[in-house]
Amino acid sequence: MRQGGAVVEMTPEDFEEAVADALDTIPPELARAMSNVVVLVADSPPPDAPDDLLGLYEGVPLTERDSWWAAGALPDRITVFRLPTLAVCEDAEEVVAEVRTTVVHEIAHHFGIDDDRLHDLGWA
């Protein structure tokens, strides 16, 4: 986390709007390919996760699903964490950029792309 500065001020509603705007930047063909996934916003990561975690994908990546997977399956979840994001950014513009990076990163996990490959692609 950023050292010595105050946390960026952004209302939960404005942060949710930044997440929605980030989702709107996903190319339509990728958005259509997303299956059984919901995007959520939470203030903080789960207690067992690092405090500076900005996003989390929980589910079964599309590359690992079989024909029986969808029967009664709960949706995958992508959660973007507001407070850690605000803590690592200098201003609202940086928050918007970081939210977009986080959303793209977590959607990539939904498509089966791991952290090593995301790092190679510059999205880690």
The C-alpha torsion from 62 through 66 and 69 to 75, rounded to 10°, is: 0
Class of domain 12-64+72-121: alpha beta
pLDDT at 5: 58
Question: How would you classify the pairing of strands 37-42 and 55-58?
Answer: unpaired
Which of residues 65 and 23 earns the better pLDDT score? 23
Q: What pTM value is reported for the model?
A: 0.87
pLDDT of 1 over the 50 cut: no
For the chain, what is the largest distance between any 2 Cα atoms, rounded to a whole number of angstroms? Answer: 51
Contacting residues for 33 by C-beta, under 8 A, at least 6 apart: 62, 111
Distance CA 68, CA 55 (A): 28
Distance CA 55, CA 63 (A): 20
Residues 105, 117 contacting (CB under 8 angstroms): no
Percent of the chain clearing pLDDT 90 (strictly above): 60
Give the residue-averaged pLDDT of 73-84: 92
Residues 24, 62 contacting (CB under 8 angstroms): no
Give the residue-averaged pLDDT of 2-19: 83
To the nearest whole number, what is the mean pLDDT of the chain? 88
Domains of the chain, by residue range, sit at 12-64+72-121
pLDDT tens, position by position, 13-52: 999 999 999 999 998 998 888 888 999 999 999 999 998 9
pLDDT at 117: 83
